[in-house]
Amino acid sequence: MSAPTPVPEIRLNSEHEALVRDHLEELLKSRAFAGSKRAQDFLRLIVEHALRGEVDSLRERMIGAEMFKRPVDYDTANDSVVRVKATEMRKKLTQAYLESDAPTKVRIEVPPGSYVPRFIFDESGPSATAKTNEPPQSNPLTSIHGETANSADPPGRASASGPKKTAGASA
């Protein structure tokens, strides 16, 4: 049996961390998450682990043990509780964003096949412009997550390692 592939750490500054925590609370109070304590707990668990840099513990077996009190060696092939709850939580997360008409400075995404959340920051607006002294871009989102930016990332997104560069861009 081979060792699991390490997941890169998520590093946020204190301002971004506070934005994520505030937004998490807003999401958990939304109509989409109302009445679903398990979906709330699931989202809170994975976001808090990610913010603490504990992304290696965001694997099916570890979530099953921590959240659902399964033995650490339980059979994940025959017990799909984590996958089912993750799917439910993703649906509620999508619903919360669809129902909200208020713009947010951060968006939390949990890609299918992963339990590591992505934090996507909207860096537009007066405070971002004032910090950089540059005009805002057309789609100035910054994505910080446990992956690196690649050709599949939409334009205007960047990973924790910095803005994505496109062909022909100057350094």
Confidence at residue 171, expressed as pLDDT on a 0 to 100 scale: 37
Q: Report yes or no on whether pTM surpasses 0.85.
A: no
C-alpha to C-alpha distance for 81 and 162, rounded to whole angstroms = 36
Determine the pLDDT at residue 101: 84
Residue range 96-122: average pLDDT? 93
> Per-residue confidence at 106, pLDDT binned at 50, 70, 90?
very high
Highest mean pLDDT among 13-17, 61-65, 150-154: 61-65
133-139 mean pLDDT: 36
pLDDT at 154 over 70: no
User: What confidence score (pLDDT) does residue 119 get?
Assistant: 94
Instruction: Kindly report the average pLDDT of the chain as a whole number.
Output: 76
Q: Name the residue with higher pLDDT: 155 or 14.
A: 14
Residue among 163, 164, 161 at smallest CA distance from 11: 161
